[in-house]
Amino acid sequence: MKNDERREKIYDMLVREEKMSVNDIIRRVGDSPATIRRDLTFLEKNGYILRTHGYAKYIQPEIVHMKEFSADKIAIARAAVKLVEEGDALLLDSGFSTLALAYQMVGMKNLSIVTNSIPVAHLYSTHGEIQTYLTGGFLRVREAALVGREVEEYVSRIHVSKLFLSTTGVRGTEGLSCVTPFQAEVKRAFIRAADQVILLIEHGKFDIDALMVFARFEEIDCIVTSEPIASPDLATHLDKLGVKVIVAK
């Protein structure tokens, strides 16, 4: 079993069970104790679980009010909204960075938005200026997002000028990473449907590696972030690919 698949299996077990002994995880996954302990260390380091003596526990994500954005997210959203043009058809990925952008677009005219984000759809349900389409799909409560085959099929029938994309983390120069295969497949479908892919990412996420890569940097046209990219290797890689990097002030 590949690292990503094994870690995803461990994570899903802990989401269901909430707390499990390390020995039980080893038994159910069927891999070596050393390998499972490395996986648990990875999951804990990236904030998905908490380890105590002999046990691993799922961390329930903190619920954040829609308007309680960090200064970085607000700065990124204000920079990103300048990329939106009248007449655009947009895809908005789920996530707080894209939700912050959605707030910045309130009041804009002649826009069409497709999203799998429940908070974005809720926001625009009270602001009728923007024509909004909510994909079907299965609700992932943790992300307040719709995922699954229905989302992918819906998006396969549309084409948009711009996608505003979020990510959980970055895997070196390899690409963007997220937590679940459900997220990964939806994000890949979104990328295929867009002329231009714009990534919204706080600088701290460049130091996080989530479970699986869903996109290569070759697929990204523009990155809007909160600080200059610290990794010389990644900065050089993006420059060679011609990826535009906007640092929000």
Per-residue pLDDT of the chain (249 residues; tens, 9 = 90+): 678 788 888 988 888 888 999 999 999 999 999 999 999 988 887 667 888 889 998 876 544 444 557 889 989 999 999 999 989 999 999 998 999 999 899 888 899 999 999 989 988 887 778 999 999 999 887 778 999 999 999 999 999 999 999 999 999 999 999 988 889 999 999 999 999 999 999 998 998 888 899 999 999 999 999 999 999 999 999 999 999 999 997
Question: What's the pLDDT score for residue 207?
Answer: 87
Alpha helices by DSSP H, listed for the chain, are 3-17, 22-29, 33-45, 71-81, 96-105, 118-125, 149-156, 181-192, 232-241
Question: Which tokens is 157 given?
Answer: 């029938």
d(CA 178, CA 159): 24
Question: What's the pLDDT score for residue 66?
Answer: 43
Look at domain 3-58 and name its CATH class: mainly alpha
Question: What's the pLDDT score for residue 79?
Answer: 97
Question: What's the pLDDT score for residue 177?
Answer: 94
Domain boundaries, the chain: 3-58, 71-247
Q: What's the CATH number for 71-247?
A: 3.40.50.1360
For residues 145 and 121, the answer to whether their CB atoms sit within 8 Å is no
d(CA 60, CA 67): 20
Amino acid identity of residue 6, one-letter, is R
- DSSP per-residue string spanning 21-42: EHHHHHHHHTS-HHHHHHHHHH
Matching residue, tokens 């290569």: 216
Continuous segment of H or E residues that includes residue 115: strand 112-115
Torsion sign, CA atoms 29, 35, 36, 41 = negative
For residues 25 and 69, the answer to whether their CB atoms sit within 8 Å is no
